[in-house]
């Protein structure tokens, strides 16, 4: 199979179906979340909207977290005077309906009934001024307690890059390899270093990006919304860059050997029934296969 055909098929397999069950569940939770915020802060009119991969058009089924920002007007103190208070008050307003898991700037929502992760992160913040372009968000960790950002700049930078399909497959690679790199870092890397391939086929952009990572360890990124203020070099430190470079080198060996199925798997996954039959056949070759155990009863 040709490279382009392979990567296009993989992309299709991992596409998020907007009418699928996961998205329907997310949409319905989003509406519920909006209602809870507006119900708790009736005198306010915060801006509640999608951020993250949904807005950037880079969602894949393997990583379909939904970021929702909730920004209060710059002179609105109804949710708190400080960013920390806003963060805490937004977090507390979900306490009756969800299990909340505080993250660095976001609040992750988990179902109270099923304990299921709802894949929704709410990011509270406050606009810097009336223009509603820049906002401050609270940071629970790190040196600075607040970060200045511009959601539209971030979204536009990725969504309009012409590289969203490359980003989707790089995200899949990140997940499959266990690179554990934050999605926005990968997105910024792709947009910066694969920019010249934005009008080329997907395979060209993707492979060129991997080639770049393989051949360099000195790459860097800047936050397009606040290049001076937000230092991303700590996240993309030398160990991370080296690991990325090694991983890219491995994947490029597969590309060079035309061993594409080993990168993201087969483009024709087997059905559940075929899978169980195949597994039975594998186990039939073992007279005494290891049986899993667990030290705990609970």
Partner 1 sequence: MSSKSWYLDNPTLFQQIKDDVSRNFPMMITFTVNDVVLIRGNLQLYDNTHHEIDQYTIEIELPKSYPKGIPVVREINNRIPKIPDRHVYDKGGLCLFLLEEKWKYYKEGTSIVDFINGPISLYLLGQSFFEQKGVFPQGERSHGVKGIVELYTEILQTDDTEIIKTFVEYLCEPITRGHWPCYCKSGKKIRNCHMNILAEYRNKIEPEIAMNSLTYLLREEIDSKKK
Task: Sort 177 into a burial class: Cβ within 10 Å, 0-12 / 13-18 / 19+.
Answer: middle
CA 79-82-87 angle, 5° bins: 55
Whether the CB-CB separation of 126 and 135 falls below 8 Å is answered with yes
Task: In angstroms, give the least distance from the CB of 12 to partner 1.
Answer: 17
Among 90, 118, 213, 263, binds partner 1 (CB under 8 A): 263
Whether the CB-CB separation of 148 and 229 falls below 8 Å is answered with yes
Q: How far is CA 269 from CA 79, 168, 265, 275, in A?
A: 49, 19, 8, 9
Task: In angstroms, give the least distance from the CB of 282 to partner 1.
Answer: 6
Task: In angstroms, give the least distance from the CB of 169 to partner 1.
Answer: 14
Within 24-83, the residues that bind partner 1 by CB under 8 A are 62
Whether the CB-CB separation of 115 and 95 falls below 8 Å is answered with no
Under the criterion CB under 8 A, does residue 292 sit at the interface with partner 1?
yes
Residue 220, token pair as written in the block: 């860097």
Q: Which is nearer to partner 1, 32 or 261 (CB)?
A: 261
Among 1, 95, 235, 278, binds partner 1 (CB under 8 A): 278
Under the criterion CB under 8 A, does residue 114 sit at the interface with partner 1?
no
Whether the CB-CB separation of 243 and 202 falls below 8 Å is answered with no
- Residues 245 and 266: their CA atoms lie apart, in Å, by 24
Which residues make Cβ contacts (< 8 Å) with residue 184, sequence separation at least 6?
A: 154
Interface segment toward partner 1; rule CB under 8 A; list 2-10, 18-26, 32-40, 263-271: 263-271
Phi, psi dihedrals of residue 90, rounded to the nearest 5°: -65, -45
Q: Which is nearer to partner 1, 31 or 274 (CB)?
A: 274
Whether the CB-CB separation of 66 and 54 falls below 8 Å is answered with yes
Q: Which is nearer to partner 1, 19 or 293 (CB)?
A: 293
53-91 burial, b if ≥16 CB within 10 A, otherwise e? bbbbbbbbeebbbbbbbbbbbeebebbbeebeebbbebb
Within 168-197, the residues that bind partner 1 by CB under 8 A are 175-178, 180
Interface segment toward partner 1; rule CB under 8 A; list 69-77, 124-132, 197-205, 264-272: 264-272
Whether the CB-CB separation of 81 and 126 falls below 8 Å is answered with no
Count of chain residues binding partner 1 (CB under 8 A): 45
Cα 262 → chain centroid: 23
Interface segment toward partner 1; rule CB under 8 A; list 91-99, 211-219, 227-235, 267-275: 267-275
* Bridge partner residues of 67 (DSSP): 51, 121
Q: Which is nearer to partner 1, 92 or 238 (CB)?
A: 238
Interface segment toward partner 1; rule CB under 8 A; list 5-13, 143-151, 204-212, 273-281: 273-281
Among 135, 164, 203, 247, binds partner 1 (CB under 8 A): 247
Under the criterion CB under 8 A, does residue 113 sit at the interface with partner 1?
no
Task: In angstroms, give the least distance from the CB of 67 to partner 1.
Answer: 18
176 by DSSP, 3-state: which?
helix
Contact positions vs partner 1 (CB under 8 A): 62, 175-178, 180, 239, 243, 246-247, 250-251, 253-254, 259, 261-263, 265-266, 269-270, 272-273, 275-276, 278-283, 285-286, 288-298
């Amino acid at each position: 199979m040709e490279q382009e055909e392979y990567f296009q098929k993989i992309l299709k397999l991992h596409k998020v179906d907007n009418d699928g069950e996961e998205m329907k569940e997310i949409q319905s939770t989003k509406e519920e979340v909006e209602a809870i915020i507006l119900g708790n802060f009736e005198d306010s009119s915060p801006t509640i909207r999608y951020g993250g991969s949904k807005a950037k058009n880079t969602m894949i089924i393997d990583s379909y977290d939904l970021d929702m920002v909730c920004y209060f007007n710059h002179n609105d103190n109804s949710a708190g005077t400080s960013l920390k208070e806003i963060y805490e008050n937004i977090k507390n307003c979900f306490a009756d309906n969800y299990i909340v898991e505080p993250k660095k700037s976001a609040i992750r929502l988990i179902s109270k009934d099923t304990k299921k992760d709802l894949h929704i992160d709410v990011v509270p913040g406050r606009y810097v001024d009336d223009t509603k372009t820049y906002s401050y968000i609270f940071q629970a960790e790190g040196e600075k307690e607040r970060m200045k950002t511009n959601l539209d700049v971030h979204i536009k930078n990725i969504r309009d890059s012409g590289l969203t399909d490359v980003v989707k497959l790089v995200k899949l690679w990140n997940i499959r390899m266990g690179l554990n790199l934050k999605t926005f870092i990968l997105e910024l890397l792709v947009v910066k270093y694969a920019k010249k391939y934005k009008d080329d086929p997907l395979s060209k952009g993707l492979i060129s990006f991997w080639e770049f990572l393989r051949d360099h360890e000195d790459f860097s990124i800047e936050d397009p919304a606040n290049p001076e203020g937000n230092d991303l070099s700590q996240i993309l430190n030398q160990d991370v860059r080296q690991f990325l470079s090694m991983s890219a080198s491995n994947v490029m060996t597969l590309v060079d050997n035309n061993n594409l199925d080993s990168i993201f798997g087969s483009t024709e996954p087997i059905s559940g029934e075929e899978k169980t039959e195949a597994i039975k056949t594998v186990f039939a070759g073992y007279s005494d296969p290891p049986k899993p155990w667990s030290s705990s009863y609970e």
